[in-house]
Structure 1
Amino acid sequence: MANDAKPAQQRIDQFFSGPGGRADSWRDLVEAAKTWSRGGDRAAYDAALSALAVTEEFHGYPGLHLMTALKEAAAAGDAATSHMLSARIAQALQTKSFRQHASDWSARDEGNGDVPDLLPPTLGPSAARRPYFETLIVTGVPASNWPGLLAEWRRLRRPVDAFIYEPVVVGSLEDAFCAAMLNPNLAAVVINEGFGLRSRHDAPVLRAMTAAMGLNEESDASALRLAHILNRIRPELDLYLMSNRDVEQLAGNPEADVVRRVFYSVEDILELHLSILEGVQDRFDTPFFDNLKKYAQRPIGTFHALPIARGKSVFKSDWIRDMGEFYGLNLFLAESSATTGGLDSMLEPTGNIKKAQEKAARALGADRVYFVTNGTSTSNKMAVQALLGPGDIAIVDRNCHKSHHYGMVLAGAQPLYVEAFPMTEYSMYGAVPLKTIKQALLNAKADGRLDRVKMIDLTNCTFDGHIYNTRRVMEECLAIKPDLIFLWDEAWFGFARFSPFLRRRTAMGAANEIEAWMRDPKSVAAYEKQQAELGKNPADEVLLKTRLIPDPRQIRLRVYQTNSTHKSMSAIRQGSMLAVKDIEFHTVEAQFKEAVFTHASTSPNQQLIASLDVSRRQMELEGYGLVANAMEIAFAIRNAVNTNPLISRYFRVLGADAMVPKDYRQSGFTDYLAAGTNWSSALKSLNDDEFCLDPTRMTLVCGTAGYDGTSFKGLLASRYNIQVNKTSRNSVLIQSNINNTRSDVAHLVRVLAEISGEIDRGLTKGGANAKVDFDAKVNSLMKDVPDLPNFSHFHDAYRGDAGTKTNEGDIRGGFYSAYDAAGCEYIRLNDPEIDRRLKNGPDLVSANFVIPYPPGFPIMVPGQVITQETIDFMRKLDVKEIHGYDAAEGLKLVTTEALARMGKPKAAAPKLKAAS
């Protein structure tokens, strides 16, 4: 409809606007209705209702009935009813009471006194209730018949059903796409044949998206085509096809593998209803947690080494009973050292832990998943130890988490460090350019060492939010060496699986796309075409400039992803998952099991395992909406800080244009909140750019307010009860997650406004001297910043026969050099001896890791030759925490004499004389 064009464009474009944006739109409608009911302008209400009606079509509540009632009240000029009804709907949406109370679905105010259950269960009575979801029905039935269709679906509800759902009807492929994008409550989709292609609304940005998918003709509106589109954007949704043709042939089509079940026409409508409930139940089931709850209710006699189990030692004690009262009885009833009696073993899972891990693999798009209860530090070390052996080379980001470096020590592998692009102004590094990684591979090839390069080990996303183009990195590296293993540390990025925008940038998301590309016959043609263009033996310069295409016939796809489930999902601290998609896993499975035995505790925390199981359930059933909300929260913070006249005078959240150099933003994308940006332009950036910025991670510059990162973090925590994760010399990192609310945003903004006001008043009252001192401090934090030191090289004693181009080293040998006390020396940082040796030799060689916090990466590793830039950086550091460095003793170095002995055979031990 022509009059829908502008509202559709306005609302559908704004995909960044999640649940909070929808609530704001309803609040605006209520305010407009209130104004109208008091004799004000009606036009504003009509415009707000018209705009809102477009996207409300894609939600189950308030649904066709209530939206029709709103329109009829407006058409009748009934301002009072319009105000009453819009206010009731807005309240029901805000509190989610419509999921519990049938009265919320009535157009009349029945006034039955129902109050939504908003309290946590320990703070008030909580009635049992059935979880609510919505099911999308895609049909060719005319819109005039939809009310009857909805009534038929509702008649299927039974009191014995474990869940309750509301149908949402659309009549075209484009509207189905919009519903999937805009409605986080969807859990299932029923696709009937006979629907059209085009939406009823004229939204140009929607046209751009469908054109990019190649959807131009009405014939593209096939049920199977839509199923694949929905599976790509919302893989967690259960899809059902209803056909009145040859369902046997359709069910046997390999392309129907994304569909849960195929039905013939409407002959089995009850079976379809039951299938929908069963599909949701499959995701709702948490094998380990469900079993643990049953175990806790059984009478158990414990004669094993866990006195706290069953809680008797706690609740019968006069001295520690308060711990039991604080945590509650169930925590102790659910504790056990046993792996029998219905429980399972983390080391050798065969029962409910195994089933829980299989469900997690499905949720993450992996072949298999391991639960890890010692954090992602352990996940990383397990992967490195299982996949690398002594002498193997791994190309590693020097700025990665220390667990990767220690993993190399344990495995005896040789790291070949590559450098991320520096962000000197903010004392942080970005991510490693693809050109740098390719150069390392080509150098290894030139030196005859490519066969020893087994792994690429990178952090995605980085602490500060830099996201790799994971597919491009893997494809171009596989073009040089087709059997490379990729280890992606996604400790902070596990949630991205549940966003259709960010999923493509995850390890598993990219691996699945590569796998699909490999099956496409066009992939071989693309490879052979590029080979013909490159010719035989192309120069390295050409290969570095070319976006390389691998040979799909040679690729051995081997991808590992670690994520700190506790950092972005509802898992208890130290909960981690290790996801695997490795066609060669059978060749490393035994050693992987040994790595698990090496690192996993034989006494894992039962509650932690249960939280991993439950966090998977939550993300499969509501992760899409939760992640959308986390992104919306981040955009609200960015906007509030950067546009507030007072706050922006002293603080700012850096945009993508400040965090990612222009050379790595090939699409021209500048920031999520830049004028004219919508989901189409953001999608182009996510598809094409070498690096993107995770929208949920916000670098808040505080140096311009005269605070260093550490001091500002302390101020927020001690004075305002606001906690942040990470700091740099002049910034703090703020992260939104699935736990945050708009109230959190308001609190943060209010605090920043208060601090800004104090600075303002201090400068006004302090006069010229205060301004001079403030400017000097800001200049020190923002301008007089130390250059970031790059990794230099390993000392020759730890390089063996390394060639001149590659720079891998024996980090294990360097690490154990520190165990030889006689072979080590200490020199204080400001001792002139350091400067003399830097100038005249002999080399200064680190005996251990030195990791300052911030920035949190190792500026020295065992066996590394220390350079002037590293010493200059350390001397300018003003942080209190430096791991591996004792200021009283100084730098721990390997002595020149010990280095000289490296590689020489040790003297044989004297033989003992035989007893006479």
Structure 2
Amino acid sequence: MENETTHIDQFLLIHSVRNDCWREITTLADAWAANRGERAALEAAIAAGAAAEEYHAYPGARLLAALAERIAANDAGGAAMLARRISNGLLTHAYRKRLSEWDVHEELSSTEVADVLPHGTAEAGSRRPYFEVLYVNSQPAARWPALATELRKLRRPEDPFVYEPILVGSFEDAFCAAALNPDIISVVLAEGFPYRSRHDAPILRSVLDPLGEEEGPDMSALRLARSLKRIRPELDIYLLSDRQVEKIAGDPAADAVRRVFYAVEEPLEMHLAILEGVQARYETPFFDNLKKYARRPIGTFHALPIARGKSVFKSDWIRDMGEFYGLNLFLAESSATTGGLDSLLEPTGTIKRSQEMAARAFGADHVFFVTNGTSTSNKMAVQALLAPGDIAIVDRNCHKSHHYGMVLTGAQPYYVEAFPMTEYSMYGAVPLATIKRALLSLRAEGRLDRLRLLDLTNCTFDGHMYNVRRVMQECLAIKPDLIFLWDEAWSGFARFSPFLRPRTAMGAAADLEEWLRAPGSIKEYERQQAELGKNPADDALLAAHLIPDPRLVRLRVYQTNSTHKSMSAIRQGSMLLVKDVDFHTVEAQFHEAVFTHASTSPNQQLIGSLDVARRQMELEGYGLVMNALEIALKIRRAVNEHPLISKYFHILGADEMIPGIYRQSGFTDYLAPGSTWATAVKAMREDEFYLDPTRMTLVCGTAGFDGTQFKGLLANEYGIQLNKTSRNSVLLQSNINNTRSDVAHLVRVLVEICRGIEKRLADGGEGERATFAKRVKSLMTDVPDLPNFSHFHEAFRGDAGRTTPEGDMRTAFFKAYDASVCEYVPLIGAECDRRLREGPEMVSANFVIPYPPGFPIMVPGQVLTQETIDFMRKLDVKEIHGYERARGLKLVKPGVVAAKAKR
């Protein structure tokens, strides 16, 4: 095991590694019992994981001591039996339900069951949720078992939850325990503990060193509380002190602490406070009330016939719908907004409270629940933040909802381009230098005051995550009041990973907010100003890592996330997160945007699922996201290191997805030789772009499949569903729903497909091999160049600057509503080629969005170029929104364009 600590798996695969280690211990114990192995090998395996086991409640000191005693007594059979029981308990989580998993003996006394077994007594068959509490104390380790026993005596049958204590005695051990054990959701700190662990285990260094928690002059309990909150902000932390608790409670640093207690004078109060803290996260105001509503006798005289289910269950013709969905779905339906159900458009009750709890969980000041998907969240944000004539710097490859939002508001988009990955027919993300050039160009034109919003996708569909803090910091150095909209539809889960949180909008905003308040921030700014000098040239500004003036910055950050895409919400459940010091100036506009876009009949189940998704992520999101990361790394290894699969398929590494100039740390890939948790963290902190490990681009063109074809094969023949494809790849996503069984299924399917390819090539002879090679070449080599945005025609530039490319897309869009001003030109044919050569210019009358890649390659008012036409002609996808093959390209007639341009 010790060799593994240098590998990235030691942290990112910590859950499965622990289970695998116990399976290995079981195998060694069985071998010893069968006289096929050595006792020394078993003892070494147990010793290797001993330090990490102290950070988990199960199997605990008593079971580990019993295992050691059986080994010392040469009781090989007893040791093997106990090792297997521990291993199975960890694998099945049986220790959360059965007392026998905790006790060394098979016979149990009835009085012990209520004390330990995580079951409620009020309702037979119900199970109380189980969690673990970390106690950091300064008492000798010999006293810990007695202290744990005293803590267990505080349990009562009426407690809504059951927890097990974990005791550690140092800063290092506390930090590692919180990082490695996702079952810990509350922490109790007693002052006086040392910094150093009593262990000298490699696992300590592998976790601590990359996270930068070094020993320093401040090793107080408050310092530890802040450190724990940095990696796991959802933790409840309680502080015990025998000093001036009143002074500690008033310290600004105590913001990380939920409550301060004087020593241990009130152990029961501490116990109740822990339960109350968990209850505060467990509560789901709207969902709880929806369940109560479904249990009430209600007479419905509103416009929703399926409410209460009578029209369904009394019918001979649609009763199967009721049997399929179940009675509760219909009992919980209503179009009323009274009786505790609240109004999504103007919430004042349970929805309002649920949104406030979501804001706490996601690190926002405000949250809006949205039941029409993140397409609507994006349009709401764009409408609320932009007015006609405002300029927005927008990623040209962002989701179509942003483009349509610009049309609706009349804002002028200033399109910026992401770096291309032509070989795989996809785009990455927009380089910071490109964004800064756009800002500086607007400043040179005297139009920077018109710029209001920077609108970017993070992470991209393919996993590119921005260095969000740096982007915002450098942009604010040029325009201190710039607003940021980050479309994080695909990465809402990242909030609950210390590994990914700094790359999220809310995580980066919190870090930037802390920097703005720090005493040294102004000195940093003034030092750079002295270095740059007065009126620095644009080249100097582009080369520098710009620092904003903290006295001028207005931090205004918005984030949209598709809760349903990465958390346990029903489809179309979305959230709009706000962290804006000037929100009061746009709050009325936001409510207008909600009225504009939100349904007056929102789905109650969607709202309830958003409430529940928040609860789950606050209480177990850390472990669930860690599992998603584990699954992703196991898939990467299983595909790229399999001798047969890797002949035809390959998952792209960071070095293949992100050009080297944007990987300043030198990080290449998670599986590259020498990659460690430390190198991954360094890349996350330093690199301009970072690859989300849960998003895996599987190249299938080398197996002779285009993306759409391979997606269909997996779905139709093997029951494996995917979302996104490119010309020669498909996107695999791991999420909180996946298991290692899913990995095994995928691997078996890929092996079967590869064997089919091998057989076909072997049986088909030279002709088949030549055909296969030609197909691979067409997919992997003969790929079309990716078109950049050309430009808006002068007729649709509005009052744009002379050298800046923004345009009046709204006018072009609505101009095309008049059919008499439009014409159609076939994509393939002499007329299109002639127009490209001789003119008049072809101006798009609408959006054209091929799937894939899923973003507009033509927008209203855009001049079509040879580059765009060539790309369209080489597309082999079936779904192209806005393009009618039978009629051709929809264009604004040349005469209309010319007449408008003269005005």
TM-score by length of 1: 0.95
Equivalent of 2:32, from 28, 32, 36?
A: 36
Alignment of 1:247-326 (within 5 A): 247-326=245-324
Alignment of 1:462-861 (within 5 A): 462-861=460-859
Contact kept, 8 Å, 1:376 with 1:574, in 2: the verdict is yes
Alignment of 1:119-198 (within 5 A): 127-198=125-196
For 2:49, the equivalent position in structure 1 comes to 52
Q: CA deviation at 1:897?
A: 1.1
Find the aligned partners of 1:522 and 1:571 in 2 and give their Cα distance: 42
Q: CA deviation at 1:9?
A: 4.4
Q: CA deviation at 1:17?
A: 1.0
For 1:433, the equivalent position in structure 2 comes to 431
Alignment of 1:376-455 (within 5 A): 376-455=374-453
Q: CA deviation at 1:95?
A: 1.2
Contact kept, 8 Å, 2:11 with 2:207, in 1: the verdict is no
SS in 1 for 2:12: coil
Contact kept, 8 Å, 2:790 with 2:863, in 1: the verdict is yes
Please tell me the residue identity of whatever aligns with 1:399.
N
Contact kept, 8 Å, 1:789 with 1:873, in 2: the verdict is yes
Please tell me the residue identity of whatever aligns with 1:450.
L
Contact kept, 8 Å, 1:12 with 1:178, in 2: the verdict is no
Find the aligned partners of 1:682 and 1:855 in 2 and give their Cα distance: 29
Find the aligned partners of 2:861 and 2:202 in 1 and give their Cα distance: 59
For 1:65, the equivalent position in structure 2 comes to 62
Find the aligned partners of 1:379 and 1:62 in 2 and give their Cα distance: 46
Please tell me the residue identity of whatever aligns with 2:694.
T
Equivalent of 2:22, from 7, 22, 26?
A: 26
Find the aligned partners of 1:637 and 1:58 in 2 and give their Cα distance: 28
Cα offsets for 1:482-538 (capped at 9, x unmatched)? 000000000000000000010000000000000000110110000000000000111
Please tell me the residue identity of whatever aligns with 2:485.
L
For 1:78, the equivalent position in structure 2 comes to 75
Find the aligned partners of 1:736 and 1:512 in 2 and give their Cα distance: 27
Cα offsets for 1:713-737 (capped at 9, x unmatched)? 0000000000001000000000000
| Residues 666 and 78 of structure 1, relative CA distance in 2, 3 Å threshold | same
For 2:96, the equivalent position in structure 1 comes to 99
Please tell me the residue identity of whatever aligns with 1:130.
R
Aligned length: 892
Q: CA deviation at 1:211?
A: 6.3
Find the aligned partners of 1:370 and 1:203 in 2 and give their Cα distance: 46
Cα offsets for 1:413-467 (capped at 9, x unmatched)? 0100000000000000000000000000000000011001100000000000000
| Residues 458 and 337 of structure 1, relative CA distance in 2, 3 Å threshold | same
Contact kept, 8 Å, 2:32 with 2:38, in 1: the verdict is yes
| Residues 384 and 445 of structure 1, relative CA distance in 2, 3 Å threshold | same
Cα offsets for 1:165-209 (capped at 9, x unmatched)? 000011111111110111010110001111111123335675587
Q: How much identity, in percent, do the aligned residues show?
A: 70
Find the aligned partners of 1:546 and 1:347 in 2 and give their Cα distance: 45
Structure 2 unaligned regions, length at least 5: 114-122
* Alpha-carbon RMSD: 1.8
Cα offsets for 1:515-564 (capped at 9, x unmatched)? 00011011000000000000011111111111100111110000000000
| Residues 208 and 320 of structure 1, relative CA distance in 2, 3 Å threshold | closer
Cα offsets for 1:654-708 (capped at 9, x unmatched)? 1111111110000011111222222221111111000000000000000000000
For 2:118, the equivalent position in structure 1 comes to none
Contact kept, 8 Å, 2:238 with 2:258, in 1: the verdict is yes
Find the aligned partners of 2:155 and 2:900 in 1 and give their Cα distance: 77
SS in 1 for 2:778: helix
SS in 2 for 1:137: strand
Find the aligned partners of 2:266 and 2:771 in 1 and give their Cα distance: 78
Cα offsets for 1:207-256 (capped at 9, x unmatched)? 58756777554743210000000000000000000001010000011110
SS in 2 for 1:14: helix
Please tell me the residue identity of whatever aligns with 1:54.
A
SS in 1 for 2:731: strand
For 1:891, the equivalent position in structure 2 comes to 889
Contact kept, 8 Å, 2:134 with 2:184, in 1: the verdict is yes
Find the aligned partners of 1:49 and 1:401 in 2 and give their Cα distance: 51
TM-score by length of 2: 0.97
Please tell me the residue identity of whatever aligns with 2:84.
A
SS in 1 for 2:49: helix
| Residues 166 and 11 of structure 1, relative CA distance in 2, 3 Å threshold | farther
| Residues 884 and 13 of structure 1, relative CA distance in 2, 3 Å threshold | closer
Please tell me the residue identity of whatever aligns with 2:507.
G
Contact kept, 8 Å, 2:465 with 2:692, in 1: the verdict is yes
Contact kept, 8 Å, 1:7 with 1:50, in 2: the verdict is no
Q: CA deviation at 1:7?
A: 7.7
Contact kept, 8 Å, 1:8 with 1:201, in 2: the verdict is no
| Residues 133 and 575 of structure 1, relative CA distance in 2, 3 Å threshold | same
Cα offsets for 1:234-292 (capped at 9, x unmatched)? 00000000001010000011110110000011101111110000000000000000000
Contact kept, 8 Å, 2:52 with 2:203, in 1: the verdict is no
Contact kept, 8 Å, 1:523 with 1:552, in 2: the verdict is yes
| Residues 761 and 210 of structure 1, relative CA distance in 2, 3 Å threshold | closer
Find the aligned partners of 1:44 and 1:110 in 2 and give their Cα distance: 31
Q: CA deviation at 1:836?
A: 1.5
Contact kept, 8 Å, 2:458 with 2:466, in 1: the verdict is yes
SS in 2 for 1:15: helix
Q: CA deviation at 1:801?
A: 3.2
Cα offsets for 1:619-667 (capped at 9, x unmatched)? 0000000000000000010000001000000001111111111100000
Q: CA deviation at 1:805?
A: 2.1
SS in 2 for 1:775: helix
Please tell me the residue identity of whatever aligns with 2:274.
I
Please tell me the residue identity of whatever aligns with 2:21.
S
Q: CA deviation at 1:840?
A: 1.7
Find the aligned partners of 1:748 and 1:767 in 2 and give their Cα distance: 29
Structure 1 unaligned regions, length at least 5: 116-124, 906-916
SS in 2 for 1:45: helix
Contact kept, 8 Å, 1:133 with 1:186, in 2: the verdict is yes
| Residues 98 and 560 of structure 1, relative CA distance in 2, 3 Å threshold | same
